[in-house]
């Protein structure tokens, strides 16, 4: 599995619309998704997946050079339900890993029901791209729960991969062995937890990301009274005492989180209350982080929150990615839906990665 920072042939995104997750029928979020898609399209081709009901609306809102494909889906988290692409370095052959998807916990603590349309997305993407796939019917995994360096190292969290709603029939060692087998890994680094109150059970993509092999960014706060401090400090201690698959000590860059982002009354009332879907309540703290940025071919697309740390985040990413253009997009509407910028990368037979 290549690292996200490697070359892409394109980017896949799913259009937001469900009214029990996105406020006001998803209209505010759709406008932000258009900005995200247009920003990424400056650097690589973008494909947007959209339901039959929203096809004409999405096609009208999105720029003409962005491909729009009609596909059934349950919600807009392509990184989590889409395929993980792996490449044979010798032959250039590409295959997709089609993990089972159960909406972040199934009937134990999943975020919505049903999720069967999302669980078919990976297969459909692979068929559109005309590549073979490995289907794992007995192994639940979301793409946002793992990050790799492209050289045999993977970072994840125990909070997520060992959660009872994923693979309770497997031990930690068995989970690690499955990841090693399908992604050709040599080393798995286990952080304990993800961002505070992250409803995905602590996805790693919101707390830690590879900048390049041997180098990571980590969500951080200096406020010792914030519950995030203990989580980030714990992760920092693990990372600074670990080595990667090549035996390198990791260089850790602290990327400060914004001040706590809370759901307003207006935002809460704009989301339909439906049984089986996680409610959005006034005053709830959202899992805001700059680490969940998207690394495009010549750019970095980073969420912004109208916070003093916005500029600091952009400046740090400019230092870490000197050959890429850093683009900030106000992402509160995406965060309200439960996440940040969510896309997938794909490796093509040309040897280039598609995200």
Active site residue 160: no
What are residue 124's phi and psi, to 5 degrees?
-65, -40
Residues, the chain, total?
A: 355
Residue 148 has a pLDDT of 98
pLDDT beyond 90 at 37: yes
Residue 75 has a pLDDT of 95
The class that CATH gives domain 11-336 is alpha beta
**Domain spans in the chain, listed from the N-terminal domain onward:** 11-336
pLDDT digit string (tens) for 230-263? 999 999 999 999 999 999 999 999 999 999 888 8
Bridge partners (DSSP) of residue 304 are 330
**For the purposes of burial, counting CB atoms within 10 Å of the CB of 216, is it exposed (0-12), middle (13-18) or buried (19 or more)?**
buried
What distance in Å separates the CA atoms of residue 78 and residue 122, rounded to the nearest whole number?
Answer: 9
**Active-site pick, 11, 160, 208, 343:** 343
What distance in Å separates the CA atoms of residue 142 and residue 79, rounded to the nearest whole number?
Answer: 7
* Mean pLDDT, range 92-119, rounded to an integer: 96
Residue 72 has a pLDDT of 98
Residue 349 has a pLDDT of 44
Residue 284 has a pLDDT of 85
pLDDT confidence of 355, banded at 50, 70, 90?
A: very low
- The answer to whether residues 205 and 162 touch, using CB atoms and an 8 Å cutoff, is no
- The answer to whether residues 216 and 251 touch, using CB atoms and an 8 Å cutoff, is yes
Residue 346 has a pLDDT of 57
Residue 340 has a pLDDT of 53
pLDDT beyond 90 at 352: no
pLDDT confidence of 354, banded at 50, 70, 90?
A: very low
What distance in Å separates the CA atoms of residue 162 and residue 140, rounded to the nearest whole number?
Answer: 11
pLDDT digit string (tens) for 45-77? 999 999 999 999 999 999 999 999 999 999 999
* Mean pLDDT, range 259-285, rounded to an integer: 73
């Amino acid at each position: 599995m290549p690292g996200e920072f490697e070359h892409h042939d394109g980017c896949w995104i799913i259009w937001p619309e469900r009214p029990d997750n996105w406020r006001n029928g998803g209209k505010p979020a759709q406008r932000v998704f258009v900005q995200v898609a247009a920003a990424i399209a400056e650097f690589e081709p973008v494909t947007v997946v959209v339901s039959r009901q929203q096809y004409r609306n999405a096609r009208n809102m999105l720029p003409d050079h962005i491909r729009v494909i009609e596909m059934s889906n349950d919600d807009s988290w392509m990184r989590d339900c889409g395929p993980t692409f792996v490449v044979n370095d010798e032959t250039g052959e590409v295959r997709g890993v089609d993990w089972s998807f159960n909406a972040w916990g199934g009937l134990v603590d999943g975020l919505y029901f049903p999720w069967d349309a999302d669980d078919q997305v990976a297969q459909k993407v692979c068929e559109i791209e005309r590549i073979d796939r490995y289907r794992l019917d007995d192994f639940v995994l979301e793409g946002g729960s793992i990050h790799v360096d492209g050289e045999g190292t993977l970072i994840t969290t125990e909070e997520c991969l060992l959660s009872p709603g994923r693979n309770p029939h497997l031990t930690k060692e068995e989970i690690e062995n499955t990841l090693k087998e399908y992604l050709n890994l040599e080393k798995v680094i286990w952080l304990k937890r993800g961002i505070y109150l992250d409803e995905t059970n602590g996805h790693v993509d919101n707390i830690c990301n590879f900048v390049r092999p041997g180098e990571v960014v980590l969500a951080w706060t200096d406020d010792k009274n914030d519950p995030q401090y203990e989580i980030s400090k714990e992760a920092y201690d693990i990372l600074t005492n670990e080595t990667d698959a090549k035996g390198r000590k990791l260089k850790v860059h602290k990327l400060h989180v914004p001040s706590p982002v809370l759901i307003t009354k207006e935002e809460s009332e704009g989301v339909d209350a439906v049984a089986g879907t996680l409610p959005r309540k006034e005053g709830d703290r959202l899992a805001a982080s700059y680490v969940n940025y998207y690394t495009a071919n010549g750019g970095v697309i980073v969420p912004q929150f109208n916070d003093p740390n916005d500029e600091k985040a952009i400046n740090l990413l400019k230092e870490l990615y000197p050959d890429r253009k850093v683009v900030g997009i106000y992402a509160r509407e995406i965060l309200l839906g439960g996440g940040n910028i969510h896309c997938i990368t794909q490796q093509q037979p040309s040897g280039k990665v598609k995200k």
